[in-house]
Amino acid sequence: MIDAQAAREAAAGALASLLAERDALFASWPEPVVGAPVKVTRVTGAHSYWLVPLEAANRAIGAARIDSASRVLTIGLICRETRRIEDCPRVVTLLTAEEAAAKARAVLEPGEEALPPRFVHDGPPGREAWLVETRREGRPARWIMVTPGGTTARRAGEEIGREPGVE
């Protein structure tokens, strides 16, 4: 597994190539740079890949997904309107860990205790969310998935795609 610095270097190389080619998606952004990589784990906790923000004017305008061998899996924009950069997300995860924790606390059931959020892909890479595991009487209870689009919950340990007919 590569470290955050190697992920950042891989993303910087890919971004530099796109800028040198005057790629239409990136050419109009004011001095895009790579930011601090975010570790993305599987819901089980195993490290999967890095999400490296592409930033301009202190906003997340895009992201690169870097695998364990420093390969760029994807690179693209999450914000397209250069004239309204203030509307771009502040963080590449779209929500901070603190915001995700607050949203999860809002749906806790009586007797549940929430653990700190971690950033996961829930299903295939790219299907990212903040996972807040809850405990009841010291045992795993639920997985609360938090995204800007909403909050869902299921029994702790239930992986998407592990049951027939569930995606």
CA dist., res. 50 & res. 66, Å (int): 5
How much is the pLDDT for 21?
94
Q: Which distant-in-sequence residues (6+ apart) come within 8 Å of 51 by Cβ? A: 37, 38, 40, 63, 64, 65, 92, 93, 119, 128
The pTM for the full model equals: 0.92
Selection from 43, 28, 166 nearest residue 85 by Cα: 28
Q: What is the pLDDT of residue 31?
A: 87
Please tell me the predicted confidence (pLDDT) of residue 81.
85
Residues of the chain with pLDDT under 50: 164-167
